[in-house]
Structure 1
Amino acid sequence: MAASYFKSLVSEKQVAGILGTLASSLSKVAIPEIFYLLSGDEVDLELNNPEHPTLLTLSTIQTLDKTYAPALALIISMSLKLMNQSGRHHSAIVLDEAPTLVIPEFDKIPATARSNKIATFFIAQDMVQGEDGYGRIGRDKILATLSTHLYGKVTDPSTAERYSKMFGTVDKYYTSKSRKAGAWSNSGYTDSLREIRKYKPEKFHQLDTGEFIGVIADGNMKEFNARFKCYQESLTQLPLVRNVTKIEIQQVFEKIISDTKNFI
């Protein structure tokens, strides 16, 4: 964007078009609440610091997921860079509805983070969702670096077909009985060996709630088909850290805008 801007300084119309596109993109995240949250430095993004390990929870709401996605992806990306180093406390990153966020070069994280004692959870309702933000190649790169996979019930036929192929085939013996008619009728048995899929596509359409078919990288079993017990625990109301008014949020927002104009 910046390169295009400098190359087009001779054309006022082109400059106006670039600035308009840039302003339109930035306006989606120019929200006072986002400015306020990102203005402080209370949270150390080096979450797995051995001296003070921290749990950071980020969330959004469905109606504003596209608005908050860039800010959330930025926080996660910066935190991962600080965490993904040797000598840190063992930790985990859990991304629920992961395809809604596009984290730059995320396909490189699981492989390198594993050696630094970081477990990566990339959770999605369907593999197809990953194509929206990362593209098919990017999605496949991420899946290739995740060594342990758990697959639950799906409704998309192409996804079920892909899951079925991923688990390969097995050899199965079949015995058939034949009988010849007539006065000297007799019967016989024929054994045959056939190669069939370990899990048919229909299997992934029929899984119950909480039931998964999985592949484990390092464990006492390589594959499993099991149903997990529902985790139940009473919810605890989170404490109020700080009571902030809309006026305070707006003041911080306006100050940041003012400081930015002074830089320009």
Structure 2
Amino acid sequence: MNLESAQIFPILTSYDELANYLSPFLDAWEGGAQDQLQGQIASAKIPLSRMISPALYWVMTGDDFSLDINNPNEPKVLVVGNNPDRQNIYSAALGLYNSRIVKLINKKHQLKSSVIIDELPTIYFRGLDNLIATARSNKVAVCLGFQDFSQLTRDYGDKESKVIQNTVGNVFSGQVVGETAKTLSERFGKVLQQRQSMTINRNDKSTSISTQMDSLIPASKISNLTQGMFVGAVSDNFDERIDQKIFHAEIVVDSTKISAEMKTYQPIPMIVDFKNKDGSDNLKETIEANYRKVKQEILLLVDSEMERVKNDPLLSHLIKQ
């Protein structure tokens, strides 16, 4: 990011697959519009500069494992988390990982897998709507968790938010209010309900019975659910029919069964041990050393690339003397 344009443009333009993308910038640079060009580059640098962190450099370098988590030969469980204090910084990195993982796992002949995203609005998941629509045929289950539809609309935009809401086949909801409760009530549909009214006057008493379509689960009921009570709808398959698709019930947690399962958990394997031979912690020193190493490798890479362009008769014209 701190390199000069005289180095960046010749290196990137030397690759045919990038030349077309860089053509407008290169024309501006060669045409003397450096001031306008620097303003555009600065607009891209400022958000990216927030990601400069030794810890992030450590996480995003190395080859500890591959991201094809449903590979039959090397199955994995990958857990990543965001930091609320640095949400805007880490969201870009998480979005990059998510986009790459989706491309790798959404394929045929892989193991069954699941993508579980809690607090979805805190990160931008590019291609999420397409994943929901196509992943089922590739045995990938997508589970999204968030507080309210309005959060999703705020961070993903109205159009993409609507696509996500309408594409998901199974819905489980606790207490929500406002437009979210109304949307869910409409999704659950209406049912023909019978109503009886009684009129009493001085002379006689009359009873009338009428039927009308009314919400199966009214928005007012969804807005007042108690803890543990859920409403929802599930989808079925051709060979696995579900007669009762819509529910309003309490989800009972079997604490005994969960405790027994937890006792069988295996410890997480140690991938990297941040300790010296004497047992002292060297986490900070290791991460800082990796940070300096990455920066040094970038400088060496730039030098070697500039030398390559300079010595190539077909590319040497890109370097302005």
- State TM-score, norm by structure 1: 0.89
Q: Report if aligned partners of 1:5, 1:18 keep a CA contact under 8 Å in 2.
A: no
In structure 1, the residue matched to 2:212 is: 194
AA in 1 matched with 2:190: T
Q: Please provide the CA RMSD for this pair.
A: 2.2
Q: After the TM superposition, which residues 1-264 of structure 1 pair with which residues of structure 2 at under 5 Å, given as runs? A: 5-6=25-26, 8-9=28-29, 10-155=32-177, 157-181=178-202, 185-218=203-236, 220=242, 221-230=244-253, 233=259, 238=268, 240-244=270-274, 245-264=283-302
What is the CA–CA distance in structure 1 between the aligned matches of 2:221 and 2:25, rounded to whole Å? 54
What is the CA–CA distance in structure 2 between the aligned matches of 1:33 and 1:239, rounded to whole Å? 20
- The ranges of structure 1 where at least 4 consecutive aligned residues each deviate by more than 6 angstroms after the TM superposition are none
Task: Report the Cα offset of residue 86 of structure 1.
Answer: 0.7
Distance 1:42 1:240, change over 3 A: closer
Structure number, greater radius of gyration: 2
Number of positions where the alignment pairs a residue of Structure 1 with one of Structure 2: 260
Q: Report if aligned partners of 2:107, 2:138 keep a CA contact under 8 Å in 1.
A: yes
AA in 2 matched with 1:209: Q
What is the CA–CA distance in structure 2 between the aligned matches of 1:186 and 1:210, rounded to whole Å? 47
What is the CA–CA distance in structure 1 between the aligned matches of 2:23 and 2:124, rounded to whole Å? 23
What is the CA–CA distance in structure 2 between the aligned matches of 1:174 and 1:117, rounded to whole Å? 45
SS of residue in 1 equivalent to 2:60: helix
- After superposition, the C-alpha distances for 1:93-127 in whole angstroms (9 at most, x for unaligned) are 10000111112121000121100111100111111
What is the CA–CA distance in structure 1 between the aligned matches of 2:269 and 2:71, rounded to whole Å? 24
- After superposition, the C-alpha distances for 1:11-63 in whole angstroms (9 at most, x for unaligned) are 22212212221221111111111111111111111111112211001112211
What is the CA–CA distance in structure 2 between the aligned matches of 1:253 and 1:40, rounded to whole Å? 12
Gaps of 5+ in 2: 1-20, 275-282, 303-321
SS of residue in 2 equivalent to 1:39: coil
SS of residue in 2 equivalent to 1:120: strand
Task: Report the Cα offset of residue 258 of structure 1.
Answer: 2.5
- After superposition, the C-alpha distances for 1:116-169 in whole angstroms (9 at most, x for unaligned) are 1111001111111112331011011112221111121114x2222222222222
Distance 1:111 1:43, change over 3 A: same
Percent of residue pairs identical:
25
Gaps of 5+ in 1: none
What is the CA–CA distance in structure 1 between the aligned matches of 2:67 and 2:117, rounded to whole Å? 16
Q: Report if aligned partners of 2:99, 2:127 keep a CA contact under 8 Å in 1.
A: no
What is the CA–CA distance in structure 2 between the aligned matches of 1:100 and 1:205, rounded to whole Å? 24
What is the CA–CA distance in structure 1 between the aligned matches of 2:286 and 2:167, rounded to whole Å? 44
AA in 2 matched with 1:113: A
What is the CA–CA distance in structure 2 between the aligned matches of 1:223 and 1:115, rounded to whole Å? 24
What is the CA–CA distance in structure 2 between the aligned matches of 1:152 and 1:2, rounded to whole Å? 50
SS of residue in 2 equivalent to 1:58: coil
